Amino acid sequence: MAKPEPEVTQQAAPQATAQATAQATADALPDHWVERWLPPAWRPYARLSRLDRPIGTWLLLLPGWWALALATQLTQPRGNSLGFNSLGNWPDAWLFIAFGIGALVMRGAGCTFNDIVDRDFDGSVARTRLRPIPAGLVSLKQAWAWLVLQSLIGFAILITMNIPAILLGIASLGLVAIYPFMKRVTWWPQFFLGLAFNWGAVLGYAAVTGRLDWIAGLLYLSGIIWTLGYDTIYALQDKEDDALIGVKSTARLFGRNARTWIAAFYAITILGLAGVGWLAGLHWPYWLALAAMALHFLWQAATLKPDDSAACLTKFRANRDAGLIILIGFLLG
């Protein structure tokens, strides 16, 4: 197994530092506000938190919003016979906002921790070698300080919720901590990402109902399977570099059968969400949204080009829209 290259420091790699200052990493959005509006000294920290790549925040946030919307339908009076809810059935506005802010800062904290742990690997992968730590723009001490600051903001938001939600939020830190190490020991790091990224499903459900039940568990499981699908697509971009440095992923495990596996994960996700809708007794707007999500997944799987990194990134980002589609179903169902 090839050894990862040593960490690139600011003193040892002035060219890498200058290049990273001038451009974001390869999968960042072009001409993002991080590059246009933030002072140069702030940009490395914004990149460390992936503010220039908002798709990760969306994918962390959406399961929590699903849970808030679903739990609200189960704890408030039913809507009319057509299945539409009155305005009183919409989730609590503060919880919706709190989950948005929480997803932003905790995704940033998780990415910062991931970059601290993976700094040597990142320097060996073309797509990630311009990240702030391997490029020498942020020191380890500065990265740890930034991690602590984001975590404190997240904790301040968490303690505004009920006790079950607070306890679940604290428990999620274990999942966040182990994830960066999983690519070293298992071919299924995407599963562990799913455990962490979909924790908002149980947290949001508990924040509204004060409890967990089979509906919350099935929603969480469905989100984990969804993550296995979309993060395998994401990992397809790095499969060659990952093979060189010995990093494991489902993309490498599945090889030429990756598209079949992704389609299967998406199909199981739809079945799981159908079970959620059946257990919750949701009305026809939810089922219409679920059908639209299924068609979206079908499009992804049918048109995926596993060897085209740019196309894989496009399909990966499209999962924000898939998540928003089913969110509308939960809100109206």
Residue 221: inside a domain: yes
Report the Cα 127 to chain-centroid distance in Å: 18
Q: Is residue 260 part of a domain?
A: yes
Domain range for 319: 25-332
Instruction: Classify residue 90 as exposed, middle or buried by CB count within 10 Å of its CB (0-12, 13-18, 19+).
Output: middle
Residue 286 lies in a domain: yes
CA–CA distance, 118 with 121 (Å, rounded to integer): 5
Provide φ and ψ at 201, rounded to 5°: -65, -45
pLDDT score at 42? 87
CB 91 within 8 A of CB 68: yes
How many of the other CB atoms lie within 10 Å of CB of 37? 10
Cβ 249 vs Cβ 242: under 8 Å? yes
Instruction: Evaluate whether residue 105 is within a structural domain.
Output: yes
Contact present, 91 and 208 (Cβ < 8 Å): yes
Q: Which amino acid appears at position 39 of this protein?
A: P
- Tokens 């990493």 sit at which residue? 25
What's the domain count of the chain? 1
Residue with tokens 């059968």: 257
CA distances (Å), origin 193, targets 17, 237, 259, 322? 30, 17, 19, 18
**Residue 142 belongs to domain with CATH number:** 1.10.357.140
Per-residue pLDDT, 129: 75
- Give me the phi and psi of 24, to 5 degrees please: -85, 175
Amino acid identity, position 219: L
Residue 141 lies in a domain: yes
- Do the domain assignments include residue 96? yes
Residue 157 falls inside a structural domain: yes
pLDDT in tens, the chain (333 residues): 444 433 434 443 444 444 444 444 555 666 677 777 888 888 888 888 888 889 999 999 999 999 999 999 888 755 544 444 444 478 889 999 999 999 999 999 999 998 898 887 766 666 677 788 888 888 889 999 999 999 999 999 999 999 999 999 999 999 988 988 898 899 999 999 999 999 999 999 999 999 999 999 999 999 999 999 999 999 998 888 778 788 899 999 999 999 999 999 999 999 999 999 999 999 999 999 999 999 999 999 999 999 999 999 999 999 999 999 999 999 998
Q: Does residue 16 belong to any structural domain of this protein?
A: no
- Count the residues in the chain: 333
